[in-house]
Amino acid sequence: MAGRLKGKVALVTAAGQGIGRAIAEAFIAEGAKVIATDADEKKLAGLKAAKRLKLDVRSTKAVEALAKTITKDYGGLDVLANVAGYVHQGTVLECSEQDWDFSFDLNVKSMHRTIKAFVPAMLKKGGGSIVNMSSGVSSIKGLPARYVYGATKAAVIGLTKAVAADFITKGVRCNAICPGTIVSPSFEDRVKAVAKKTGKPLKEVRTAFIGRQPMARLGTAEEVAALAVFLASDESSYITGQPHLVDGGMAL
């Protein structure tokens, strides 16, 4: 189908690369007016969005300012896709207080900022869809060396359910996507980090990552984006407050 998001105004964070880029491109292809944001504005080059803007989701001031601008220009959002995040690698013994604070600020509090800033206009418009990026590594499944990452993504699921419950009768839906291991620049960064830490060749580390996947392959950003389109669209109008796995069976 085409035009599944026609007429909808959508904001996508971390739209410069990886899953965020794929979601922004999929939303655009389905007819949405996309405001694409990233902490590094240069990464947004080539994206045929209505607006391409630098946004630090760790700044309450910046998020609130953007919300005011979008409300003025578009009357608010129909879709909010919270994609920005960071994967810390390590156990509790390798997680400093700074690591903990940074991970929760970027992975969880950033969503608090955007939801708090954009929901009022959504309510005035009569509803909207919020899509939060969680992970299969969360309250769903634990993996080694994902201590604070798993904690943040579990918190995202809790946040998602709370927002869904608060606005369930007011037209605002909130769902979470829980990817497994997805091909992306951040995945390649993790491969390099593990190779450096263990002294193993990059190819061996990458093969080990793939070997842990039940489908014997990694997922693609486009496969995650397809789910995001569904959750953003009216096709999912009776779905809210749920974590949706796209993990190749990792959580089985």
Average pLDDT (68-85) is 98
Q: How confident is the model at residue 103 (pLDDT cuts 50, 70, 90)?
A: very high
The CA-to-CA distance between both ends of the chain, in Å, stands at 31
Catalytic residue among 86, 147, 149, 238: 149
- Cβ-count burial 199-238 (b if 16+ within 10 Å, e if not): eeeeeebbeeeeeebeeeebbebebbbebbbbbbbeebee
Report which of residues 156 and 1 the model is more confident about: 156
What is the predicted pLDDT for the residue at 241?
Answer: 98
Write out the H or E segment, with its range, that includes residue 173.
Answer: strand 172-179
Share of the chain above pLDDT 70, in %: 100
The overall average pLDDT reported for the chain is 96
Q: Does residue 204 fall inside a structural domain?
A: no
What is the predicted pLDDT for the residue at 1?
Answer: 59
Q: Tell me which amino acid residue 90 is.
A: G
Give yes or no for a contact between 174 and 160, defined as CB atoms under 8 angstroms apart. yes
User: What residues pair up with 146 in beta bridges, in sequence order?
Assistant: 90
The answer on pLDDT for 212 being more than 80 is yes
**CA–CA dist 206, 184 (Å, integer):** 12
Least confident of 99-113, 156-170, 201-215, 231-245: 201-215
Range of the structural domain that residue 17 is part of = 9-180+220-246
Q: State the CATH number of the domain containing residue 91.
A: 3.40.50.720
Q: Does residue 191 fall inside a structural domain?
A: no
Q: Does residue 83 fall inside a structural domain?
A: yes
- Provide the number of structural domains found in the chain: 1
Q: Does residue 187 fall inside a structural domain?
A: no
Per-residue pLDDT tens over the stretch 129-147: 999 999 999 999 999 999 9
Q: Does residue 66 fall inside a structural domain?
A: yes
Q: Does residue 3 fall inside a structural domain?
A: no
Average pLDDT (61-65) is 98
Q: Does residue 2 fall inside a structural domain?
A: no
Q: Does residue 100 fall inside a structural domain?
A: yes
149 catalytic, yes or no?
yes
Average pLDDT (31-44) is 98
Tokens at residue 8, please?
């909808």
The answer on pLDDT for 25 being more than 90 is yes
Q: How confident is the model at residue 187 (pLDDT cuts 50, 70, 90)?
A: confident
The answer on pLDDT for 210 being more than 70 is yes
